[in-house]
């Protein structure tokens, strides 16, 4: 997998700044005040920093922005990076600064003169998250990435606070890799194998094969993959870091490729459906993060892995299937397949683990993009307490989330003439009727959220902390939720 850059935290060595190679970064607050590191560099460069802080360009920079001074006099470094940042930045300002440094660094070594600036650990996290490349399938020789060194007043203290953030970055990278991977590489077998390998981190990993799923009665999930040569699976990942209490459950949709099945999608843009396992990718990344940072909580992550293909054996519009719960479903549209997968996995999670709460994630509907674009995931819930806690966690981590309505009127749209329900309610309110469908597989006493991440899992242009492609949205928010609400 792609691994985040290793960042070193060392004591401040102002004399060593003059001979540092590659790039040197300094911080200047909005009024142009220079800290010790910036003053040293200002002296070495014959007051070039002070002149820059008096410029119109510096005035127009926002908090977290980075300006580049090439081949600065008095420094061995080829680049001087001037970061405009308050001495006590917000978490998001600090992460933005780190991300901008990663973009400006290129492949050079980078020495960051952070001194005693607050949130140096958050700056490092932003740098690590933005310094992501998915290039494993490119054959051109790849240049080595330069080393990153933070000079800080208390290196051991900063390194300690940065350690759990490094676990977050690795979880985000794991999610991005899974979501970016093409479907001929990330088959259901390969996906399951990558998750099984996480037993080395202390996770308990169990793979349920098709025979197991048939015995459990998962007809809803199995119908989705019956047209594919790739076997359908459910992978269960358990992290038992808490006491004897019941776990919190995370459930992810893992459609490794979605043609739409017999209800075939248009050819244009179908290549993007490699990301239709994004929900399972997020669950996997969260579980990796929890294991790496040794979270003091009990969490179980379940992912349903299928491929939705058209063939002579594929499920047809009009077919009726029976879920693990026992409810029958009339399949009106085979491209509304994610909810069929989630229904069985959610029911299994509740039956087996009796969770204290459950959140499912899925790139479920195009309708959520119409409603919220690429800025927010849709949040649907039967619990004000859980949804409020999640939205707060997402806001803290800078990941957009917006609660959407639910109600009986929407539920009525799923009535079927021949079965207990249809799998789709028509064109109107598509993301809401999808949530109403899923709610039928949530037990009354289980606090639950459904996160429709179709607009945020993968995007065409870069975001604040990620290049174009998979974002890893949700790993940080869910890790925060677990840390704030479920750790002992």
- Region for 345 from its dihedrals, namely left if φ exceeds 0, alpha if ψ lies in -120 to 50, beta otherwise: alpha
CA distances from 36 to 28, 42, 113, 115, 298 (A): 10, 10, 9, 7, 45
- Residue closest to 457 by CA, chosen among 481, 477, 482, 432: 477
Q: How many whole angstroms separate alpha carbon 323 and alpha carbon 218?
A: 5
Q: 3-state class of 113 per DSSP?
A: strand
Strands, sheet with 7-11, edge to edge from the N-terminal-most edge strand: 7-11, 148-152, 110-115, 23-28, 79-84, 66-70
Q: Enumerate the active-site residues.
A: 265, 339
Q: How many whole angstroms separate alpha carbon 30 and alpha carbon 28?
A: 7
Q: Where are the alpha helices (DSSP H) in 131-154?
A: none
CA distances from 338 to 2, 121, 421, 446 (A): 27, 38, 15, 21
DSSP for 387-418, written as a single string: HHHHHHHHHHTT--EEE----HHHHGGG--SS
> Do 36 and 115 meet the contact criterion of CB atoms below 8 Å apart?
yes
Distance of CA 269 to the CA centre of its chain: 22
> Do 327 and 347 meet the contact criterion of CB atoms below 8 Å apart?
no
Burial label for 147, CB within 10 Å (0-12, 13-18, 19+), is: middle
Distance of CA 277 to the CA centre of its chain: 12
Q: Which two tokens stand for residue 128?
A: 């690590």
Which stretches of 110-192 are assigned E, i.e. beta strand?
110-115, 148-152
- Residue closest to 382 by CA, chosen among 354, 412, 360: 360
- Residue closest to 356 by CA, chosen among 383, 379, 324, 380: 383
Q: Where are the alpha helices (DSSP H) in 323-413?
A: 338-353, 367-372, 384-396, 408-411
State the helix-helix crossing angle for 475-485 and 155-180, rounded to 10 degrees.
Answer: 130
């Amino acid at each position: 997998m792609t691994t985040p850059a290793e960042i070193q935290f060392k004591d401040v060595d102002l004399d060593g700044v003059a001979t540092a190679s590659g790039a040197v970064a300094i911080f200047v607050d909005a009024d142009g005040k220079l800290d010790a590191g910036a003053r040293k560099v200002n002296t070495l460069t014959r007051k070039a920093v002070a002149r820059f802080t008096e410029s119109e360009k510096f005035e127009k920079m926002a908090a977290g922005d980075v300006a580049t001074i090439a081949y600065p006099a008095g420094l061995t470094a080829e680049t001087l990076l001037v970061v405009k940042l308050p001495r006590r930045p917000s978490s998001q300002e600090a992460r933005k600064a780190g991300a901008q440094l990663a973009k400006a660094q290129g492949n050079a070594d980078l020495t960051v003169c952070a001194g005693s600036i607050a949130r140096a650990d958050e700056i490092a996290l932003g740098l690590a998250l933005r310094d992501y490349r998915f290039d494993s399938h490119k054959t051109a020789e790849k240049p080595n990435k330069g080393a990153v060194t933070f000079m800080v007043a208390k290196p051991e203290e900063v390194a300690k606070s940065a350690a759990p953030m490094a676990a977050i970055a690795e979880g985000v990278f794991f999610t991005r890799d899974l979501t970016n991977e093409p479907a001929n590489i990330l088959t259901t077998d390969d996906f399951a194998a990558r998750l099984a390998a996480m037993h080395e981190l202390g996770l308990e990993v169990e793979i349920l094969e098709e025979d197991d799923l048939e015995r459990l009665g998962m007809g809803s999930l199995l119908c989705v993959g019956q047209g594919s040569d790739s076997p359908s699976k459910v992978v269960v990942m358990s992290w038992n870091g808490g006491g004897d209490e019941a776990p919190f459950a995370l459930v992810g949709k893992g459609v490794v490729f979605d043609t739409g099945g017999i209800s075939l999608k248009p050819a244009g843009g179908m290549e993007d459906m490699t990301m239709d396992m994004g929900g399972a990718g997020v669950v996997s990344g969260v579980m990796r993060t929890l294991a790496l940072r040794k979270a003091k909580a009990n969490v179980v992550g379940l992912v349903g892995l299928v491929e939705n293909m058209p063939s002579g054996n594929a499920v047809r519009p009009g077919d009726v299937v029976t879920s693990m719960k026992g409810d029958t479903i009339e399949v009106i549209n085979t491209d509304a397949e994610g909810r069929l997968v989630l229904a069985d996995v959610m029911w299994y999670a509740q039956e087996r683990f009796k969770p204290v709460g459950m959140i499912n994630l899925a790139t479920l509907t195009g309708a959520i993009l119409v409603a919220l674009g690429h800025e927010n995931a849709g949040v649907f819930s039967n619990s004000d307490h859980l949804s409020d806690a999640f939205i707060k966690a997402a806001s803290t981590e800078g990941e957009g989330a917006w609660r959407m309505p639910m109600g009986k009127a929407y539920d009525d749209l799923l009535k079927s003439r021949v079965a207990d329900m249809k799998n789709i309610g028509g064109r109107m309110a598509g993301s809401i009727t999808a949530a109403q469908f899923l709610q039928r597989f949530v037990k009354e006493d289980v606090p639950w959220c459904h996160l429709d991440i179709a607009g945020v899992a993968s995007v065409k242009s870069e975001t604040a902390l990620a290049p174009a492609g998979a974002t890893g949205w949700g790993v940080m928010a869910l890790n925060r939720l677990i840390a704030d609400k479920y750790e002992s």
